[in-house]
Structures are given as structure tokens and as C-alpha cells.
Amino acid sequence: MVTLVGVGRVLIIKTGQTVPNVARRRGDFELWIREGMGLHEDEVEVVEVYRGARPPAPERTEAIVVTGSAAMVTDAEAWSEATAGYLSAALEAGAPMLAICYGHQLLAHGNGGRVGDNPRGRQVGTIDVTLLPGAGGVDRLFGIFSQPLHVPVSHLQAVLELPSAARRLAWSANDENHAFSLGPRAWGVQFHPEFDADIVRGYIEARADTISAEGLDPDALAAAARDTDDGKRVLRRFAELVGEQG
């Protein structure tokens, strides 16, 4: 386990729930993130903002992780817009942050980026993500990785335009802005570092009819899903950086 230095805890901002068939077997986002980071239960605080809960002041936390969600950033729900404002304040306060999928989009949206439906459609399964030369390769979070990263994904919307202050770090075949940083301590990743192949297959199973209606083959996507270490390594590396800054 990673031991974090300081009086704060890692704040997991929960923006939604996983699909029911996965939740029954495997639990939910906060469990996978905590385990992926190598943290004890008492080292995290989970705040369900999608249920109206309000997160503590950023300076009370060691770091922030923002989860994925089935919600859409473009729906501009009140809790989502409030969370976008909170992330901007946390960024200004210098809190280390890892924003995942919906969180990635919300971090961009709250800081002047543009989020919308991905014109290339749904992305679900295990994909390759490529780090940009001179960007990903020297980044504190991604600099330890070789090319490409093999990671799980499940999303419909994407960051179509990055915030002007953002540094683009990685792209994938369907998503030009697959990872970015804002300042030295905040990262957004469109992929799900906390997922494994079993979880991905659960998402495909839960949405098989919709996936088929969109012209994709759910059976082929499920068969192609595979376990990789890269996602968990991203979570562990973020935990290491949090420990170092403590």
C-alpha cells in the first residue's frame, strides 16, 4: 500500500455509478480507484456529488480523483456545473488531481474547453493511446510509460477543444484529446485506468442493444477486451506523485 504524507485524504469525487450488472459483482468506481492507487479505506473520502453532496475545501484533501459517469456534461445539470466550478477552484489551489472520463471532460469544460458528442461515435473496449512526442514523454505522470498505452474505455462524449491553458498529452484513433494536463499537478484522461477486461465486458453486455443499433458488434468488442497493466500503473504513478508532494 502507498502511505500518503500529510493530514489530508484523497478525495474521490463520485459523479455517477457503474452499470448494475457490474456493480452487483464487482462494486463501483471508488473501490477500483482506491485499490488501483494502493490505498487503505481510511485514506479516501468519497463524495457523491451526483446525489447533491458537497465536497470539502480542496486544501483539506491530499489529492482529488474524479470518476466517470453515465451522465453527459452537455446536459449541464446543476450538480455537474457546480462540480466543474469546484474543480477550477481546486486547480487554482494547486490540488493534485486525476480526472477520469466524465471527470476529464468536466475538468476541460470548467476551464474553458468544449465538450460534446464524439463525431466518431461510441468508444468501448480496450484501445491503444499514443503519447505525443515532447509532451507525454516528459510529463510527470506519463513520462514513465512506453508507447502505446493499452487501456480500457467506455464513452460517447469527448473533449472537442482543450482549454487554452491545457497541454495535450495523448491521442487515440477516435479521440484527439485523450489526455491533457493543466499546470504541473492536474491531469485529465478519457480512458478508465480503474477498469479491467471483466468490467469492460460488463459495460458491453449492459449496452449491447444500443451498441448494435449504432452499427458496432458487441460480441467482437467483448472478445477483443483484454487485461493490461497500463491503467493500474497510471493510478499507482498518480499515488506516487501525491506521496512525493506530501
Question: Half-sphere exposure of 53 toward its Cβ, with a 13 Å CA cutoff?
Answer: 15
Which pTM was predicted? 0.95
The amino acid that residue 83 corresponds to is: T
Reference 34, options 42, 22, 26; nearest CA is 42
The three grid cell numbers given for residue 77, joined into one nine-digit string: 445539470
For 168-203, the pLDDT digits (tens) are: 999 999 999 999 999 999 999 999 999 999 999 999
Q: Which of 3.40.50.880, 3.30.1330.10, 3.20.190.10, 3.30.1490.20 is the CATH number of 9-245?
A: 3.40.50.880
Angle of helix 230-245 relative to helix 29-37, nearest 10 degrees, comes to: 70
Reference 67, options 98, 103, 97; nearest CA is 103
* Residue 191 DSSP symbol: S
The three grid cell numbers given for residue 53, joined into one nine-digit string: 453532496
Q: What is the pLDDT of residue 50?
A: 98
Residues 50 and 78: their CA atoms lie apart, in Å, by 9
Q: What is the pLDDT of residue 60?
A: 87
Is residue 58 exposed (0-12), middle (13-18) or buried (19+ Cβ within 10 Å)? buried
Domain ranges of the chain: 9-245
For 19-39, the pLDDT digits (tens) are: 999 999 999 999 999 999 999
